[in-house]
Amino acid sequence: MEELYEENESEHNNNVLECSESLDLDSKWSNPEEMSTKNPDCPGNEPASKDMLKRSTSPYGVSSGDTSETLESLGEEEVQPMDLGRIQSQSAAPDESWAKVKQRMKKHTNLCTGSHHRGSTADKRDQEFDKEDLDMLKKHNDVWNLTGNARRMLHAHWLDMIHRHAGEKLKELQSAYGETCKRKQEVENEIKLRLMRKAKIVGMTTTAAARHHSILASLRAQIVVIEEAAEVLESHILACVTASTKHLILIGDHLQLRPSVATYDLALKHGLDVSLFERLVKGGVQYVTLEVQRRMRPSISALVSSIYPMLRDHESASNRDKIRGVKSDVFFMHHMNEEEQRGEDNSGKLNVIEAQLIVELCAYLIKQQYSYDEITILSMYNGQVSEIKSLMARKIPQNVGNPKLPRVSSVDDYQGEECKIIILSLVRNNCLPSPGSPGKIGFLAVSNRVCVSLSRARDGLFIFGNGDLLMKKSKLWQHVVKNLKGSNSYGDALTLVCPNHPDKEVKVKNPDDFRHVPDGGCDRPCEYQLNCGHVCPKHCHPGGHDKVVCPKRCLRKQCACNHECQASCHGFETCPPCRVLIEKILPQCGHSARISCSTSVEAVVCRAPCSRMLKCSHPCERKCGMSCTTSCLKPVERLLSCGHLVKIACYIDPSQYLCKEPCLQRLPDCMHTCRGTCGECKQGQAHVPCLEVCNRTLPCGHPCSSNCHNACPPCSMPCQKRCLHSRCRQICGYPCVPCMETCAWTCRHHACDLRCHEICKRPICNEPCEKLLHCGHPCLGFCGEPCPSICRVCTPQYKDTISLMTMEEFEETDRFVMLPDCGHVFEVSGLDTWMKSEQCDSGTNSISPKSCPSCKNIIRQSLRYGNQIKARMKQLEDVKMRIFGNQQVNEGIVLLRRKQFDEAFEKFLMALEKNGLNYEACLGLGSTLCFQFKYSDSLPFFNHVVKHSPLKKYASELEASVITSTKRGNPGRHELMSLLKNIESDQLRSVVKAEKRLAIKALLQWGNALSKMGKFSAATRACEIVLKEDPNNQDVRDMLQLVKEGKQMQESVVAALMDDLRGRGHWYQCPNGHYYVVGECGGPMQLSKCPDCEEIVGGQNHTPAAGNIHSGIDGSSHSAWSDRTGLGALRGL
């Protein structure tokens, strides 16, 4: 290369191009200091030197200033990918893929060019007719007045127009995009060309040369050098040659592996695997042969003498060290272990025993101090390569910091490489012991592969296979085996030699034989004395003892205590502190403790039981070395104020202890047994809420499933109201939608023309029914009514539940009525009296529907008694409307109550700021929040105190507002009650003595309740009032910090949801003031329950449910779906 460059330097173009495979190129350019030529560059791989990397500021080594003008010219011509994607999306229908779009574009092109198939005359008439129809439809102004077919035709025409327009735009963009890409490629090629022109020598792979052929043509390199040319396809070499090439130099070995062709049949039929190098050599073109080799030692190069008869060894090849641990540097181990077949192709063959032998030999050589990089295992079969890798991963440990193992490769992937020691696995062994067995050697018969496999080793070569089979099937192997036998390097056992005892040899035939050399030497003990004085625990092994770890115990005497060291052997290092356990007297208390010898007694905590007595005369239960407890945990019996005798810890004050005995008293309101404890119920004065199920019958007939209470809530069961036309799908407690169908009560004599839900004006028909029953006897019912299921003849056992008369006791003229809901039949006069009675079954005058006298099922359908049923149902609907009322009215009431509550509380806080904290403020707050709900027996006393308070006006106003709002569920009522449950009669009576302390406590609890309700501003003000009177109150400061964190969290949640919801107006509040979000359009479309209070939230048809209002927590003044946003106008669509 140096001579070529000097020769070519005088020419106008001074570039030299060298092409090769990637692997060879990397090895050649890895050490650029060895070449006298400067500035090499490798566009097919990484830059060749660090200097080049430092010079190169752009991806191809050219600074940005050199190409700025060229790149700027692309700015105006670039096609944005966004435009192309937008046109593609417009061109496709919602259910079309890109493939369908291209098909539609192709169809459109054919229609425009007229190359589509011509239809019949009828088709032409249809097209003309459709065109005329389209012209008329396009002139029509109101699309909604068109028929369905006409609208579909017009819609298809519009779609076709959009597709045509988008297709034309897409073609333009595709053309522009192609031109831009072409221009971009030209700019990149110009950058690469500038870089190459700065270099003296350019190196790249043949694949890169084919890809950058236009650049090479512009580079005009006159000399092309191709390395490993015998393994390069002829087409690849031609791609490296340009019109400027004057000198083509091919370097290679046609006796080794040929180029790899993807299709084996083409290579076999057309000779595609024959390289240009081989074709020229065999064609008689002048060539030069390398006759001196420096890689292999003479004993290895002799094996390929039949392939290279003129090859001579350099003197440096003879001065090689012998391979440690083996008798012969080159050896063919003959064995008869049968091969296996895994997979369908020939590459799946393997020989398990041979693989085990090779892995054991590799591990043995590593013990001879050879590194992993100095050993390579080769095989011609991929199945054997995989098997060896699997065995090696389990047998040979990986180095710390270098997880690589010795390389295992196929022969085809190892051409052009070399290694110090090569272990060759031949695999094939299928010859039976009987004479005349056929036997096959497969790839081993290919001279190219054999040449490569035998010429990779420098110092040592170890071959494993069946030598007899190879000699029978290949003349080349006959020469190799005879050469090996002549040098005494062939046999059925590999001789291992101990490096420390040369007279000790081990014959290895099977993998188990390597157990005689466990550490790489022989089976004798090492007997070397380590620095610690112990003998080396290993068997005979090569190498030093620096890394040998002694497993024995130290046993050296400690200086002070004369104890033996218990640690493992550590050479001449200082022994660790003595760990022998001994008894020592602790000076602090005089107790003895068993501790380690080296531990100081001053640092030991005595674990003996403490003998000191507490103030209560009970012994301390902690350990001696620990400080005595201040709270005695000894159980003692105490008599509580309630009269119960309990066992509690000694330190607990009985007056502060809540008695755990069950209350078991009868609650006065519901007569259920109280489930609370004596302490929770204040000795029976204020019971905990009853948790029993109510089970009272509601007006609708369903049992109440809520917990015990004074007034039952609306029924939550599915509504059972139905008529002959339909049934109600609402919740039972909600007002039903009246049926607007025509009344179905009609017969031959009378008919009703009113709506189904209205009271019928027609009289009751008392004419006998003229129908016959299934048994053939006359019907006993009335005209127009369902026929009863009884018969005077067939069912004489029938007994009327109301009159208690049997069928035989009735007159012939008596008529009967059947209730459709349950099928029971009654005599008409008795059932008429039952239906006209106003009193229900329970004996009360409450509003409830009539039920069957026999089974007590609600009577919901009956033509004869339809007016009575409708009247009862109307009364129930009036009750529901009174409970729920008009939705807008309810929302206004809730807003008014909340406004009154907030205004009253603001006045209360302002009064506190002016007058300071006092017991009267606490009394007003306590009576308002707690006793009005739960401790009504104490209310008269506190009302008396509040009456004489200067803050009576504001406290009473706040109390009235809270009492009003709590009738429908005050926000946070249960939370406030739980926070303030410790304020009871006895405690508040002591306010007069400790007014300031209790007032602060009350306001602190009130601030905590407000923060849980989300009223952070009011909670902050309450905390600030307390801090004015008590600046050092840490509880208030902690509460203020929690309020700030809660406010920040609320703001962050609102901001995050606003980002997701794309705007404001999605927040609402339930009837108890809890916040929730409505997604999508912002208008509620379904009902649900609040997770905090189980109130109804959401709504239907973009209308919030009763009591639910829009919240301005996100800064909005109205909901996202309202008349103010324009969406409310769509409510009726």
Say whether both 226 and 370 belong to one domain.
Answer: no
Residue 241 has pLDDT above 60, yes or no: yes
Report the alpha-carbon distance of residue 504 to residue 523 in Å, rounded. 9
Sheet holding 375-379, edge to edge: 407-410, 375-379, 419-425, 457-465, 330-334, 490-491
**pLDDT of res. 55:** 37
* 594 is a domain residue: no
Helix axes 919-926, 952-966, angle to 10 degrees: 20
Band of residue 651 on the pLDDT scale cut at 50, 70, 90: confident
pLDDT the model gives residue 398: 66
Q: What is the structure's pLDDT at 456? A: 94
CA angle 924, 927, 928 (to 5 degrees): 80
Residue of 674, 679, 718 lying closest to 700 (CA atoms): 718
Q: Looking at the structure, tell me whether residues 1049 and 1117 fall in a common domain.
A: no
> Would you state the structure tokens that stand for residue 974, as one six-digit string?
């249960």
Least confident among 428-437, 640-649, 942-951, 1042-1051: 942-951
The reply to whether 155 falls in a domain is yes
What percent of the chain lies above the pLDDT cut of 70? 66
For 755-786, write each residue's pLDDT tens digit.
888 889 889 998 999 898 889 899 999 998 89
How far is C-alpha 7 from the chain's CA centre?
66
Instruction: Give the mean model confidence (pLDDT) for residues 566-575.
Output: 75
Same domain (yes/no): 996, 1076: no
Q: What is the pLDDT of residues 204-215, one digit of tens each?
A: 999 999 999 999
Q: What is the mean pLDDT of residues 271-279?
A: 90
Does residue 160 sit in the same domain as residue 149?
yes
Instruction: Determine the pLDDT at residue 838.
Output: 62
- E strand intervals along 244-299: 247-250, 292-293
Per-residue confidence (pLDDT) for residue 1102, from 0 to 100: 72
Cα–Cα distance between 244 and 242 in angstroms, integer? 5
Co-location of 211 and 147 in the same domain: no
> What is the domain extent for residue 359?
323-516
More confident residue, 826 or 928: 826
Two tokens, residue 642:
């309630």
The DSSP result for 107-169, as a single string, is HHHHHHHT-SPP--HHHHHHHHHHHHHHHHHHH-S-GGGS-HHHHHHHHHHHHHHHHHHHHHH
Please indicate whether residue 11 or residue 32 has the higher confidence score (pLDDT): 11
For residue 524, being part of any structural domain is answered with no
Angle at 1050 between CA 1049 and CA 1051, to 5 degrees: 90
Please tell me the predicted confidence (pLDDT) of residue 376. 96
Last residue of a domain, one of 998, 1026, 1053: 1053
- Does residue 668 form part of some domain? no
811: left (phi over 0), alpha (psi -120 to 50) or beta: beta
The mean-pLDDT minimum among 555-569, 735-749, 770-784, 1054-1068 falls in: 1054-1068
Residue 29 has pLDDT above 80, yes or no: no
Mean pLDDT over the full length of the chain: 75
Whole-angstrom CA distances from 172 to 36, 86, 165, 1043 are 54, 13, 11, 62
Local structure of 1121: helix, strand or coil: coil
Residues 6+ apart with CB under 8 A from 1081: 1102, 1120, 1121, 1127
Residue 772 φ/ψ, nearest 5 degrees: -105, 145
pLDDT of 974 > 50? The answer is no
Is residue 233 located within the same domain as residue 356?
no
Name the residue among 574, 575, 593, 576 with its Cα closest to residue 584: 593
CATH number at residue 273: 3.40.50.300
Residue 48 has a pLDDT of: 38
Name the nearest CA neighbour of 1014 among 984, 983, 985, 1053.
1053
Sign of the dihedral defined by the CA atoms of residues 952, 955, 960, 963, in that order = negative
Report the pLDDT value the prediction gives residue 466, as an integer from 0 to 100: 93
What is the per-residue pLDDT across 662-705, written as a single tens digit (0 to 9) for each? 988 888 777 888 888 888 887 777 788 888 888 877 777 788 88
CA-CA-CA-CA torsion sign (300, 301, 305, 307): positive
**Which tokens go with 486?**
């002549």
Polymer length of the chain: 1133
Please indicate whether residue 154 or residue 8 has the higher confidence score (pLDDT). Answer: 154
What's the rounded Cα separation, in Å, for the pair 516 and 520? 9
Residue 879 has pLDDT above 80, yes or no: no
The reported pLDDT for the residue numbered 47 is 36
Distance CA 518, CA 539 (A): 7
Task: Please give the pLDDT value at position 1124.
Answer: 47
Nearest residue to 208 (alpha-carbon basis) of 51, 97, 360, 45: 45
Cα dihedral value 304, 307, 312, 313, nearest 10:
-20
Give the pLDDT mean for 1023-1042: 65
Distance CA 672, CA 664 (A): 9
394, burial (CB in 10 Å: exposed 0-12, middle 13-18, buried 19+): exposed
Among 823, 858, 884, the domain-final residue is 884
Per residue in 840-864, is it b (16+ CB within 10 Å) or e — as a string? beeeeeeebbbbbbeeeebbbebbb
Which range scores top for mean pLDDT: 143-152, 265-274, 308-317, 862-871? 308-317
DSSP string across 463-489: EEE-HHHHHHH-HHHHHHHHHHHHTT-
Q: Quote the CA–CA distance of 490 and 486 in Å, as a whole number.
A: 8
For 784, what's the count of Cα atoms within 13 Å in the CB-facing half-sphere? 20
Residue 888 has pLDDT above 60, yes or no: no
The predicted pLDDT at position 303 comes to: 93
**What's the average model confidence in pLDDT over 109-131?**
45
First to last CA, the chain: 86
Average pLDDT of the segment spanning 109-137: 51
Least confident range of 528-542, 563-577, 616-630, 992-1006: 992-1006
**70 and 86 part of one domain:** no
Q: Which residue has the higher pLDDT, 25 or 620?
A: 620
Question: Is 819 inside any structural domain?
Answer: yes
pLDDT of 601 higher than 60: yes
pLDDT bracket for residue 626 (50, 70, 90): confident
1051 compared with 720, residue with greater pLDDT? 720
H or E stretch including 461? strand 457-465
Identity of the amino acid at 688? V
Q: How many structural domains does the chain have? A: 6
Are the beta carbons of 1127 and 1118 closer than 8 angstroms? no
From the list 555, 582, 551, the residue with the least C-alpha distance to 566 is 555
Q: What angle do CA 970, 972, 973 make, to 5 degrees?
A: 60
Give the pLDDT of residue 973: 43
Residue 1019: the pLDDT is 62
Please give the pLDDT value at position 892.
58
Q: Kind and range of the H or E element at 647? A: strand 645-649
pLDDT attached to residue 26: 46
90 has pLDDT over 50: no
Residue 627 near residue 614, CB atoms below 8 Å? no
Measure the CA–CA gap between 320 and 1037, rounded to whole angstroms: 85
pTM attached to this predicted model: 0.47
Pair of tokens at residue 1043:
């309020």
Helices (H), 815-938: 828-836, 866-884, 887-915, 919-926
**What is the per-residue pLDDT for 1069?**
82
Q: Which of 473, 496, 516 is the last residue of a domain?
A: 516
Question: Which residue has better confidence, 276 or 1057?
Answer: 276
Task: Decide which of 425 and 1038 is more confident.
Answer: 425
For residue 314 the two structure tokens come to 């350099």
Residue 704 within any structural domain of the chain: yes
- The mean per-residue pLDDT over the stretch 145-156 comes to 82
Compute the distance between CA of residue 611 and CA of residue 485 in angstroms, rounded to an integer.
93
Alpha helix stretches (DSSP H) within 229-351: 234-240, 264-270, 276-282, 298-301
Q: What is the pLDDT of residue 1126?
A: 42
The dihedral sign for the CA sequence 52, 53, 54, 55: positive
Lowest pLDDT segment from 188-197, 313-322, 409-418, 896-905: 896-905
Reported as a pLDDT band with limits 50, 70 and 90, residue 332 is: very high
In a shared domain, residues 863 and 904:
no
pLDDT at 627 over 90: no
- What pLDDT band is residue 59 in, cutting at 50, 70 and 90? very low
1069-1104 confidence digits (pLDDT tens): 888 777 777 766 667 878 888 877 778 888 877 788
C-alpha dist (Å) from residue 306 to 41, 240, 303, 482, 873 = 40, 34, 7, 12, 115
6 pLDDT higher than 70: no
AA identity, residue 525: P
794 inside domain? yes
Domain check: are 97 and 217 in the same one? Answer: no
More confident residue, 892 or 337: 337
CA Rg, the chain, in Å?
A: 52
Q: Annotate 306-341 with DSSP letters as a single string.
A: TT-TT-EE-GGGTS-PPPTTBS-SEEEEE--PPPEE
Beta strands 375-379 and 419-425, pairing class: parallel
**pLDDT at res. 1049:** 59
- pLDDT at residue 113 above 60? no
Q: Residue 93: its pLDDT value, please?
A: 42
pLDDT greater than 90 at residue 52: no
DSSP-assigned beta bridge partners for residue 584: 593
- Among the ranges 376-380, 547-551, 737-741, which has the highest mean pLDDT value? 376-380
**Mean pLDDT value of segment 782-799:** 89
For residue 209, the SS3 value is helix
pLDDT at 19: 62
920 pLDDT band, cuts 50/70/90, is: very low
| Shared-domain flag, residues 72 and 91 | no
Residues 362 and 412 in one domain: yes
pLDDT value at residue 725: 86
Identify whether residues 719 and 805 lie together within a single domain: yes
Residue 625: the pLDDT is 82
Closest residue by Cα to residue 51 from 199, 215, 193: 199
What per-residue confidence (pLDDT) applies to 358? 95
521 in a structural domain: no
DSSP annotation string for 787-831: PPS--TTT-TT-B-TTT--BGGGS-TT--EEE-TTT--EEEHHHH
Please give the pLDDT value at position 304.
Answer: 92
Mean per-residue pLDDT, 11-27: 52
Dihedrals phi, psi of 157, to nearest 5 degrees: -65, -45
